[in-house]
Structure 1
Amino acid sequence: MRRICAVFAAVVVGALFVAPVSAEPREYEIDPEHVSVGFLVHHLGLADTLGMFREVSGSFTYDRETQELSDVKIVVQTDSVFTNHEARDEHLRGPDFLNVKEYPTMTFTADEAEPTGDNTGKLHGELTMLGTTKPLTLDVTYEGGRKYPFGDGHYAIGISARGTLHRSDHGMTYAVEDDLVGDAVKLIIEFEAIRQPASD
């Protein structure tokens, strides 16, 4: 009886932690209703200011079985910046910071993923912001996948990512020298991605 219980427990644990795998790489699109791209920037050497972008889209190709990730493209609409302070948000949209009239989007692209564990990895890519492209590495965690229990029943996966960029690398130098506004920008990325139908 003890052996039967042990075998049963092993099967249950395996079912919980082994996500469904695809037979081949599949395309995924970021669910616009379940995506958050946030950032933290130090202010006056006192505290971090938390902000986010409200309009984000993207897609990628992923094979859960091999952990191969490619064709990553995430596009952020820069005028969608939000920090819960209207005057600050307007300043961020101006030429001192995001200069949204001249650069309405910033884009992250990647084709190189480095697995660091069963559900973690490093995504090596490039961020184009203010017309300047620089390397950016994100620490990525695969949070799991499942078929939606409501709606159209699509299959989705969850992704968490973290990274840090220096805005001065992209020519955004306002208030960097006197450290009124921090140079380092901590990125907080959370989203669900919907698996697309397999192509014939």
Structure 2
Amino acid sequence: MTDARNHRFSSRLRSALLTCLLTATFALPAAALADADRWVIDPDHFAVGFLVDHAGYAKVMGMFLEAEGEFTFDPDSGELEGGFFVIKTDSVFTNHAERDDHLRNEDFLHVEEYPEMRFTATRYQPTGENTGRLSGGLELLGETRTIHLDVTINKVGRYPFPLGGLFGRPYVLGASMRGSFDRSDFGMTYGLTRDIVGDEVELMIEFEAQRQ
């Protein structure tokens, strides 16, 4: 009888251990998924800038004054589930009214037909402790092309003061992104044949995003 009881106890123990092991194994992806937080970019701390060559003399610097975005990301693991940002094309600003009007017409951004450009993130690959490479599709003038952005995560932590009248201090991720694309890939070719306006558009993006 003693041997039989020991056998039944050993069998139950093995079953319990196997159940715990399987539970832990299949629970890992869900736990990893739970670590990825949703972050919303603060529009008051979202700067989208660009540089384009002007006839070889100097580069024109501009900005888009209206943009928004969000992403789902785990800063500890570097896992990105997805994200996007949307830019209002008619918010372009280069500190020159006539030039800005030209950028809004059919030669460049054609804002009446395409009021927004959109970047949709598809992959984030960490390259260092606080750096990575973000890939995604940029939609501009009805065309979508893959671009890559070099990312530096500057700081992640509790904000030093409340934001936007919120009670308490939000948890914030701040980052800098740099990249470029050829505007001709999107059918924007004005000024290329005479080398008046450069093809390459250099991007400079700075943002602070609040964890939700």
Q: TM-score, normalised by structure 1?
A: 0.85
Q: Which stretches in structure 2 are left out of the alignment for 5+ residues? A: 1-32
1:185 equivalent in alignment to 2:196:
no
Q: Number of matched residues?
A: 175
Which residue of 53, 58, 61 maps to 1:42? 53
Which residue of 52, 64, 87 maps to 1:76? 87
In the TM superposition, what are the counterparts of 1:91-110 in structure 2 within 5 Å? 91-110=102-121
SS in 2 for 1:182: coil
CA RMSD of aligned residues (A): 1.2
Aligned residue in 1 for 2:186: 170
CA contact (8 A) 1:23 1:65 kept: no
| Partner Cα distance (1:155, 1:136) in 2 | 29
Between the two proteins, what is the percent identity of the paired residues? 53
| Partner Cα distance (1:160, 1:150) in 2 | 21
CA contact (8 A) 1:145 1:158 kept: yes
Which residue of 8, 21, 31 maps to 2:42? 31
Shift of 1:174: 0.3
Shift of 1:23: 6.8
| Partner Cα distance (1:58, 1:38) in 2 | 15
1:3-55 residue CA offsets vs partner (Å, 9 max, x unmatched): xxxxxxxxxxxxxxxxxxx9700000110000100000000111000000000
Q: Which stretches in structure 1 are left out of the alignment for 5+ residues? A: 1-21
| Partner Cα distance (1:177, 1:187) in 2 | 23
CA contact (8 A) 1:154 1:195 kept: yes
More helix per residue:
2
Which protein has the larger Cα radius of gyration, Structure 1 or Structure 2? Answer: 2
